[in-house]
């Protein structure tokens, strides 16, 4: 079965030791068996793809049976059918994968936290502590340029990490250990794709 990815839920972080005694920090992702909800074909839909469902709802409705649905492009070989299960055994140890998740939301933040601006002097009558400072140019162009680094909403962005190594797998408990940090809060959706 040539499945390009799986959906999972971030559990938290821990660490393991390799054969040399070095500490490897890893993020644990629980990938309960994903259900193949739909298989798209080039003749019918214009491109071959498979739609996976993750976290079945306790009270499913006629149209919504899973909390999360995601589409993966595949090569059309006919081995996947609706109702099949996708598990963590599609990956191998030390395999390089691509991770996509949504980072934690931090609300409305100022320029020091959001863009790493330096603060102004705190003493000698200074009134410039955590403000952004001047934002305009001059009489020409007489406006603030687009994309200016300003205070605003921070976080809740889709983050994709490439070439991340799978350090640990437990097919019985449906767990995958990914080397290093993965964006997002505990319990958030994580999409693991093959390179």
pLDDT (0 to 100) of residue 79: 80
Q: What is the pLDDT of residues 98-115, one digit of tens each?
A: 999 999 999 999 999 999
Going by C-alpha positions, the residue among 154, 131, 135, 156 that lies closest to residue 146 is: 135
pLDDT (0 to 100) of residue 195: 81
* Domain extent listing, the chain: 5-56+65-75+82-115+150-194
**Is the pTM for the entire model greater than 0.85?**
yes
Average confidence (pLDDT) over 64-81: 88
Specify whether domain 5-56+65-75+82-115+150-194 bears CATH 3.30.360.10.
no
pLDDT (0 to 100) of residue 1: 56
**Residue 46 pLDDT more than 70?**
yes
pLDDT grade for 81, boundaries at 50, 70 and 90: confident
Going by C-alpha positions, the residue among 74, 33, 73, 81 that lies closest to residue 53 is: 33
Q: What is the pLDDT of residues 171-189, one digit of tens each?
A: 999 999 999 999 999 999 9
Residue 15, number of CB atoms within 10 A of its CB: 10
């Amino acid at each position: 079965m040539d499945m390009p990815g799986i959906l999972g839920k971030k559990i938290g972080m821990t660490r393991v030791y390799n054969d040399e005694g070095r500490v490897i920090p890893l993020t644990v992702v629980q990938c309960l068996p994903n259900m193949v909800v739909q298989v798209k074909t080039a003749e019918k839909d214009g491109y071959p793809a498979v739609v996976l469902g993750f976290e079945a709802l306790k009270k499913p409705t006629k149209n919504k049976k899973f909390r999360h649905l995601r589409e993966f492009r595949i090569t059309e070989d006919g081995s996947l059918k609706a109702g099949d299960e996708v598990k963590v055994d599609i990956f191998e140890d030390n395999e390089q994968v691509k991770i996509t998740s949504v980072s934690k939301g931090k609300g409305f933040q100022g320029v020091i936290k959001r863009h790493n601006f330096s603060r102004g002097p705190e003493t000698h009558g200074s009134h410039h502590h955590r403000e952004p400072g001047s934002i305009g140019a001059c009489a020409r162009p007489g406006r603030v340029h687009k994309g200016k680094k300003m205070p605003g909403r921070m976080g809740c962005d889709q983050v994709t990490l490439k070439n991340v190594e799978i350090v640990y797998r437990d097919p019985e408990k449906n767990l995958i250990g990914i080397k290093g940090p993965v964006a997002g809060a505990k319990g958030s959706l994580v999409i693991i794709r093959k390179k």
